[in-house]
Amino acid sequence: MNAITLDRPALDALHAQARWLSLLLAAIGLHVFESALPNLGPWFKPGLANIVTLLTLVMLGPRAAVSLALGRVLLGSMFIGTLLTPTFFLSLSGTIAATTVILAAWRWLPGTSLVGISLLGAMAHMVAQFVVVEHFYIQQPALYHLLPPMLLLSAVTGWINGALAAYLCARVRP
Amino acid sequence: MPSLATAAPARQDLRRLLSGTRIDRLLLIAGLACIAALWLWLQREVPAGPPMVLIYHGKHLIAEYPIPSEGAPIHVQAKGDIGVSDIVIDTHGVHFESSPCIGKQCILAGTKHHPGDIIACVPNRILVSIRGSGARDDGYDGIVQ
């Protein structure tokens, strides 16, 4: 009988995968928790799950952060029962925009801390959601009258989330 | 559990992190300036005239009513993509009475009465917008298309 030999993955790789999975679970948990929060405005969430995206970016790098952000939206939507509904597409578009801006700021904006990166990500998230709603659902420019107050709220929450992410990073990072 | 001795520096750390770097603060100022400019520009775009409630389904205007200064409330049955939304216009403003959507964000938005205010039901693709900025004028009862 031939013995089947399997290549054992390196311990470091397993460690990184375990970290990514635990961060993904935390992000999904926050995504579900946010959906249960009282309504703060149309399409507005505090963006707590973005804290985990920022943590992943610092701890595991850009690729892990992108896959975590997308995985969180997909699996989180399955948990709260909004998969393929308008809520899902709004969340997905906002996450893609926010993650793109976060990665760009991380790479090309020197002197910016997680606070500034989170601020830009939160605002990009909100703008993307409005653009998607205006293009595919409501199709009325009057919708943009809601944008300034929602952007102001997202700037505040983005700033606070960035500070929380930096605070956690300083304690969690080895 | 952190002791009192470690909790105080942790609080100071968080306070320091909340202030951000110089670039962070510049980004915040730039962002706030953009929001203020957008807000002012959108306010200027609101046409003058008596406050009117416009109800849209997607690109199409379904109905247009002035906000009444007295009398019985007006009920508008707006047919959207997933069903009929019941919209009420009364002396206090306009609000969604019922909606076939799951989240009911449109109902939770409450009553709106200021020019420039909007209520949107994204799943049903219904938008309610208040236009006009002048005094109320009861010249006509409404236009329904």
Residue B7 touches chain A, beta carbons under 8 Å = no
pLDDT in tens, A146-174: 899 999 999 999 999 999 999 998 887 65
Structure-token pair, residue B121: 């039901």
Q: B61 to chain A nearest CA, in Å?
A: 10
- Residue A99: is its pLDDT beyond 50? yes
Nearest residue on chain A to B30, judged by CA atoms? Answer: A120
pLDDT band at B140 (very low <50, low <70, confident <90, very high): low
Average pLDDT, chain A: 89
DSSP state of A81: T
B105 and A CB contact within 8 Å = yes
- pLDDT tens per residue, range B21-56: 899 999 999 999 999 999 999 888 777 777 889 999
Number of H helices, E strands in chain A: 6, 0
For A156, the closest chain B residue by CA position comes to: B28
Q: What mean pLDDT do residues B72-98 have?
A: 92
Highest mean pLDDT of the ranges A4-8, A39-43, A135-139: A135-139
Handedness of CA A47, A87, B116, A138 (dihedral sign): positive
ipTM of the assembly? Answer: 0.84
- What chain A residue is nearest to B54 in terms of C-alpha separation? A142
Question: Residue B29 and residue A104: Cα distance in Å, rounded?
Answer: 20
Please, which residues have CB within 8 angstroms of residue B82's CB and are 6 or more apart in sequence?
B100, B101, B123, B124
Q: Per-residue confidence at B17, pLDDT binned at 50, 70, 90?
A: confident
Task: Calculate how close chain B gets to A62, using CA atoms only, in Å.
Answer: 21
Any CB–CB contact under 8 A between A69 and chain B?
Answer: no
pLDDT band per the 50, 70, 90 thresholds, residue B141: low
Q: Which residue of B has its CA nearest to A162?
A: B18
Shortest alpha-carbon distance between residue A2 and chain B (Å): 54
pTM of the model: 0.83
Per-residue pLDDT, B142: 55
Mutate to test the interface with B, among A115, A126, A129, A147 (most CBs of B within 10 A): A115
Contact A140 B27 (CB under 8 A): no
Residue B17: HSE in the Cβ half-sphere, 13 Å Cα cutoff: 23
Q: Is any Cβ of chain A less than 8 angstroms from the Cβ of B6?
A: no
